[in-house]
Amino acid sequence: MKITDFGKYKQAGRKISMLTCYDYWTASIVEQSDVDCLLVGDSLGMVMHGHDSTVTVTMDMMELHTRAVVQGAPSKFIVGDMPFLSNRGSLDKSLENVHRLMTAGAQAVKIEGVKGNETLISHLVDSGVPVMGHLGLMPQSVNTLGGYKVQGKSQQQADEIIAQALQAQASGCFALVIECVPTSLGLSLSQSLDIPVIGIGAGVHTDGQVLVMQDMLGAFEHNANFVRTYCNLQETLQQAFDGFAEDVRTEQYPNTDESYPS
């Protein structure tokens, strides 16, 4: 998938599939799959580093993981997430941070929130950086939201999200992630915008869907009802680890084929 395909896919009614990805190993498997694009999401702070939220994620972490994913999935369109506050300082500092992700190999950046980011988004787009917006539940704002809750439930909140989404489009975003909103709002957003709307917990009517890879693999504890698990990786890995430990204890591993003859 190329940047120019996002609009084409929306026009053609062809849904976009996106997964988060944080490392070389899984990226090289996704590389062989039909998944359209990858997001090196700042959720890596929680999934890969065990942090309580994404607030503690740094540019160093984002840059390192982006490089690994790019190595593993060279043919996929890869979006790098701007971590908490990395785009809220001076324009120069924000540009420097965006530059780090782009030179790590990202083909676009994702920025949470539109209010206060309009000038930066336009400047980036004018400078050749594709920008993906992110509205609805914005995990970096967990401390102001008071938890991970469904957003846009009242008409007033829904109208505000639609206004912000239109602003994201006007500022030059090529696509928008919308997280944890009622299905009806996911539909309104997809109908109101020319750019594709990629939902996570936003119902079936959005122009695409994104999931955290470890959630859909059943490899990470989660309680969000929108997650569909496509395998139980946690159980499979647990069995493999226990099998190895048992074989070592009982001297079933290594056998003669797995050893060098003297």
42 makes contact with ligand KIV (CB under 6 A): yes
Closest CA to 208 of 9, 1, 41, 62: 9
Residues designated as active site: 179
200 makes contact with ligand KIV (CB under 6 A): yes
Q: 215: which 2 tokens?
A: 């959630």
In whole angstroms, give the CA distance from residue 57 to residue 55.
6
In whole angstroms, give the CA distance from residue 244 to residue 34.
32
Choose between 76 and 244: whose C-beta lies nearer to ligand KIV: 76
Number of residues that bind ligand KIV (CB under 6 A): 12
Phi and psi at 250, nearest 5°, equal -95, 10
81 makes contact with ligand KIV (CB under 6 A): yes
165 makes contact with ligand KIV (CB under 6 A): no
215 makes contact with ligand KIV (CB under 6 A): no
In whole angstroms, give the CA distance from residue 107 to residue 115.
23
151 makes contact with ligand KIV (CB under 6 A): no
In whole angstroms, give the CA distance from residue 210 to residue 260.
47
**Which of 68, 108, 131, 177: binder of ligand KIV (CB under 6 A)?**
177
196 makes contact with ligand KIV (CB under 6 A): no
List residues binding ligand KIV (CB under 6 A): 20, 39, 41-43, 81, 134, 177, 179, 200, 210, 212
